[in-house]
Amino acid sequence: MTAMTLPIPVIETERLILRAPHGSDLSHMAAFFETERSHFVGGPRDLDGAWQALVARLGHWVLNDHGLWHITEKATRAFVGWAGVIFAPGWQEPELGWTVFDAAEGRGIALEAATAARRYAALHQGHDGVISYVRPDNHRSRALAQRLGATLETTGTLRGTPCEIWRHPKQEDLA
């Protein structure tokens, strides 16, 4: 059986390739979802939970023509996280989200990937001035939202969990 190729665009930055999720990403996702760090993005999860997340990402692209790209470093070809725009039941509006694995932390990878994903979503997918949901105790994501130029709009809940809602600037305001 041959895997079907989805028409998910590829984005290249100076150091990164944002690409479609691949089946070979599952073991890396499963390892990440076993960590405490994953509780910011719906973890911890077991292997089946990681599989469900992978399948949901592909399904999101099919149903919505946008979703999460998987981030690969050009130099090493290592899969190091994900970034993109998601809009699921319970969301107020489309959200720019990002996650990087421990090995990619503190190297500007999340900033580079989120910037590229946000720009593509604004220019090609009709998602400009999106929000990001950030848990109040996720200090790294709050700092990244600020570096991206987002401003704290309000607080609320997402799926029963308290969150901050950060508003990103429109693309025209970034030029």
166 has pLDDT over 70:
yes
pLDDT at 1: 46
Q: pLDDT tens across 71-123, in order?
A: 999 999 999 999 999 998 888 899 999 999 988 889 999 999 999 999 999 99
Contacts of 144 (CB under 8 A, 6+ apart): 98, 110, 111, 114
Q: pLDDT tens across 17-49, in order?
A: 999 999 999 989 888 878 667 555 665 668 787
CA distance 21 to 167: 26
Q: 149: which DSSP letter?
A: T
* Residue 123, CA distances (Å) to 32, 117, 127, 140 in order: 31, 10, 8, 27
State in Å, rounded, how far the first CA of the chain is from the last one. Answer: 46
Q: What percent of the chain has pLDDT over 70?
A: 90
Reported for 144-151, long-range contacts at CB under 8 A and 24+ positions apart, including other chains, are: 144/98, 144/110, 144/111, 144/114, 147/111, 148/111, 148/114, 148/115, 148/118, 149/174
The domains found in the chain, sorted by start residue, are 11-127 (3.40.630.30)
